[in-house]
């Protein structure tokens, strides 16, 4: 006879992954508007399963890389979680492609390091620490239509408290509820909720 009689829901690392995607979707869209720069308006995906089509770029994919659990004790453990943000940008001009990629990566860094997002919009003590630990840029390679594609891998480390009891997870702050994580043929993509 099973001992656990209630449904085990999403784990905190799943909530964190989704919050990272939602935060980047909202803030990058806002930065494109504020700066009046469509080259930084980014499509945001979570756990994308296929390569980005050039028409979808610039695009990012948020995914979980590793989960390490330390400080385990009754009912709780600390998760040292690594999230990867894959960024792809295209432009006809080789150097411009790389410049746009680096600009977007810099904006992502600033957003994720902003003190307003230290808790990813969750109530403390959901997470103890978050930091962009690295950004790696790849070589430029030619695309199908003579456009040049630049890419970056951004590593974001978050220390989360993981409850091992099946409890209700904390709710994300209200300002992110205007976005929807929609399932598409290529994976999950953030979209604005239309009224």
pLDDT in tens, 77-86: 788 899 999 9
Task: Return the closest-CA partner of residue 175 out of 193, 157, 187, 162.
Answer: 193
User: What is the C-alpha to C-alpha distance for residues 148 and 92, in angstroms, rounded to an integer?
Assistant: 6
Percent residues over pLDDT 70 in the chain: 86
Partners of 73 in beta bridges: 76
Token code pair at residue 121: 């919009």
Q: What is the pLDDT of residues 111-139, one digit of tens each?
A: 999 999 988 888 777 777 899 999 999 86
Rounded to an integer, what distance in angstroms lies between the CA atom of residue 78 and that of residue 12?
Answer: 11
pLDDT band at 93 (very low <50, low <70, confident <90, very high): confident
> Would you state the structure tokens that stand for residue 115, as one six-digit string?
């003190």
Q: pLDDT band at 70, cuts 50/70/90?
A: confident
How far is the CA of 15 from the CAs of 98, 100, 122, 138, 192, in angstroms? Answer: 32, 29, 9, 29, 18
| Inter-residue contact 40 to 101 (CB < 8 Å) | no
Ranges of each domain in the chain: 12-191
CA dihedral sign of residues 92, 96, 101, 104: negative
Residue 66, H or E segment: strand 59-73
Quick one: the chain helix, strand, coil %, rounded to 5? Answer: 30, 40, 35
Per-residue pLDDT at 91 exceeds 50: yes
Structure tokens at 100: 């746009």
Under the banding of pLDDT at 50, 70 and 90, the label for residue 169 is very low
pLDDT for residue 87: 96
Give me the pLDDT at residue 188, please. Answer: 80
- Residue 176, classed as helix, strand or coil, is helix
pLDDT tens-digit map of 42-64: 999 999 988 888 888 999 999 99
Helix (H, G, I), strand (E, B) or coil at 47: coil
**So what's the pLDDT on residue 141?**
66
Mean pLDDT of the chain: 84
Segment holding 58, helix H or strand E: none
Prediction pTM value = 0.81
Dump pLDDT digits (tens) for 9-52: 888 889 999 999 999 999 999 999 999 999 999 999 999 988 88
More confident residue, 70 or 110: 110
Q: Quick one: fold of 12-191?
A: Alpha-Beta Plaits (3.30.70)
At 69 the pLDDT is: 83
Band (pLDDT 50/70/90 cuts) for residue 192 is confident
Buried b (16+ CB within 10 A) or exposed e, 104-119: bbebbeebbeeeebbb
Assign residue 158 a region (left: φ > 0; alpha: ψ between -120 and 50; beta: otherwise).
Answer: beta
- Comparing 94 with 164, the larger pLDDT belongs to 94
**Torsion on CA atoms 28, 44, 123, 80, rounded to nearest 10:** -110
């Amino acid at each position: 006879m099973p001992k656990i009689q209630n449904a085990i829901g999403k784990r905190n690392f799943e909530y964190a992954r989704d919050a990272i995607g939602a935060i980047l979707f909202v803030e990058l869209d806002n930065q494109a508007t504020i700066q009046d720069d469509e080259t930084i308006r980014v499509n945001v995906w979570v756990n994308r399963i296929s390569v980005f089509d050039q028409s979808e770029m610039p695009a990012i994919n948020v995914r979980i890389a590793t989960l390490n659990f330390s400080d385990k004790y009754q009912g709780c453990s600390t998760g040292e979680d690594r999230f990867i943000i894959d960024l792809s940008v295209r432009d006809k001009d080789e150097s411009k492609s790389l410049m746009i990629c680096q600009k977007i990566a810099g904006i992502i860094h600033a957003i994720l390091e902003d003190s307003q997002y230290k808790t990813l919009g969750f109530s403390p003590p959901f997470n103890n620490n978050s930091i962009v630990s690295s950004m790696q840029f790849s070589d430029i390679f030619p695309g199908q239509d003579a456009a040049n594609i630049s890419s970056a891998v951004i590593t974001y480390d978050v220390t989360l408290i993981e409850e091992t009891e099946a409890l209700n997870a904390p709710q994300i702050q209200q300002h992110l509820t205007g976005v929807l994580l929609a399932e598409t043929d290529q994976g999950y993509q953030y979209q604005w909720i239309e009224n």
